Amino acid sequence: MRLPRVLGAAAIGPVVLASLVFATAGVQEHRVRPYLYANLYLPSGKLVEQTSLGYRELAADLVWFQAVQYFGGYAKNQHSLAYFNGLIDIVTDLDPHFQFPYVFGAVVMSQDMGDFPRGVEVLKKGMRANPEAWEFPFEIGFLYYITRGDADSAARYFHLASRMPGGGDRARRFAAFVYSRGGHAETSIRMWEELAASSEQPYMKEMARRYIEQIRRTGRIGKEENDG
């Protein structure tokens, strides 16, 4: 539950935000379309932690908000995703137990950026920080099937997730999807629909909608449509 942290932001957010702006306002330029963070310089999570005045989780929330805005600009074809990896690294370094940035970040990296290994790496980072969370092996299995069509690897991770508290029924259901007789595109759509229906995050629901539309139109998910 992150509501107390949001309430805390109302009281001390301006001070921490000022520190974060100081830490991330930089001179490194990249050729992206005009955007608020076009000249953003991304420091390490450790440096941001040092400038967060001890409010690591609040700082993570603020950087996460920045990452969501940044992805939103990309989705509107305003700029590239040049800084996305760095923003996700900072959020997960500041708050290793904030699970959704790992998942959202991994999906964007593997699907929109075409970097499947990096997406899996982010999820494995989440597994190391949250060894009891079934969501991470589940999402790795999801990426293996959606991105690579690798049913064996996907099933292995779904099986791992099904043996962890909370993951049983859903992980087994997705494993059944993997082994269904439908074509890869058909099964991918079913998996995205299931994920959208079960997710409480509007970002993931919207992402699933976009990918389903793209699969129906082209038969695959690619990054070329939104390259900026």
The pLDDT assigned to 42 comes to 53
Q: How many other β-carbons are positioned within 10 Å of the β-carbon of residue 79?
A: 20
Looking at the chain, which residues constitute the CATH 1.25.40 domain(s)?
A: 96-220
pLDDT of residue 194: 81
CB atoms within 10 A of CB 88: 24
Q: Which fold has domain 96-220?
A: 1.25.40
Q: pLDDT value at position 185?
A: 77
Contacts made by residues 62-66, CB under 8 angstroms, sequence distance 24+: 62/9, 62/13, 62/16, 62/17, 62/20, 63/20, 63/87, 63/90, 63/91, 63/94, 64/91, 64/98, 64/101, 66/37
Length of the chain: 228
pLDDT for 62: 86
Query: pLDDT by residue for the chain (228 residues), tens digit each?
Result: 455 554 444 444 554 555 554 444 442 333 344 444 444 555 555 656 555 556 778 888 888 998 999 999 999 999 899 989 999 999 999 999 999 999 999 999 999 999 999 999 999 999 999 999 999 999 999 999 889 988 889 988 998 998 898 886 778 777 767 765 556 677 778 878 887 887 788 877 888 888 888 888 876 665 444 443
So what's the pLDDT on residue 28? 33
What's the confidence (pLDDT) of residue 59? Answer: 83
> Which long-range contacts (C-beta less than 8 Å, at least 24 apart) are formed by 66-69?
66/37, 67/91, 67/101, 67/105, 68/203, 69/36
**pLDDT value, residue 149:** 85
Amino acid identity, position 146: I
pLDDT of residue 5: 52
